Chains A and B, each alone.
Chain A
Amino acid sequence: DAGVTQSPTHLIKTRGQQVTLRCSPKSGHDTVSWYQQALGQGPQFIFQYYEEEERQRGNFPDRFSGHQFPNYSSELNVNALLLGDSALYLCASSLGTNSYEQYFGPGTRLTVT
């Protein structure tokens, strides 16, 4: 049973650039949530996708956007990168938007220089 997978593992970008991170949910799951974990902090909710639409959003600027594909996989896009965007980006999947149990992937470590 394949768990949540994310790619790439690590990424280095320059300020002002754009980045795309990818996530494949656990088999059978249809909902994907994204979290940002800054160094020394707990994860912070970015947004949640279900049925190819953004259903909920945390307190993040519009530079953060996403997409969900018909196969339930998802992308997180960040435009105009800032140094403060350096973090571990975690993808979590669940079955349905009301499921309280979320399964996390290994994360993508983004470094902005």
Chain B
Amino acid sequence: AQSVTQLGSHVSVSEGALVLLRCNYSSSVPPYLFWYVQYPNQGLQLLLKYTTGATLVKGINGFEAEFKKSETSFHLTKPSAHMSDAAEYFCAVSDHLTGGGNKLTFGTGTQLKVEL
């Protein structure tokens, strides 16, 4: 079964600084990988996804992530943090299940704090 590990449950950056949120995956098949953002008391919003093709994927709000198979990583970056980026971020892998269907397996999340 696929799994995801997010390194760092809390990350704090200054406004305007680089954001780097780390995600490593374990998968026996080529993975489909996702980053979701969750604002307080809200559901999950898809930031970006990797399925096949270009390994550098761009998402909403200036975020991007690079799929590195050799490192089994899918780290999320943003060149310049904004106060509105403060939220919880989840990395997830899509797990196709025996008999059909699929599920998302999530990491434990990284809380991003942006300071003035």
Q: Which residues of A contact B (CB under 8 A)?
A: 4, 31, 33, 35, 40-45, 48, 50, 55-56, 58, 90, 92, 97-107, 109
On whether the beta carbons of A100 and B102 are closer than 8 Å, the reply is yes
On whether the beta carbons of A97 and B102 are closer than 8 Å, the reply is yes
The winner among A55, A99, A101 for most chain B CB atoms within 10 A is: A101
> How many contacts between A and B, using CB within 8 angstroms?
68
> Which residue of B36, B103, B107 is within 8 Å of A56 (Cβ)?
B103
On whether the beta carbons of B100 and A55 are closer than 8 Å, the reply is yes
Known A42-B108, A48-B101: A100·B94 in contact at CB below 8 Å: yes
On whether the beta carbons of B43 and A97 are closer than 8 Å, the reply is no
The chain A residue sitting closest to B31, CB to CB, is A100
* Closest CB in chain B relative to A53 CB, distance in Å: 11
The chain B residue sitting closest to A33, CB to CB, is B103
* Closest CB in chain B relative to A9 CB, distance in Å: 9
The chain B residue sitting closest to A45, CB to CB, is B103
* Closest CB in chain A relative to B32 CB, distance in Å: 5
Residues of A contacting B96 with CB < 8 Å? 98
> Which residue of A4, A42, A55, A106 is within 8 Å of B101 (Cβ)?
A55
Q: Is B14 an interface residue (CB 8 A)?
A: no
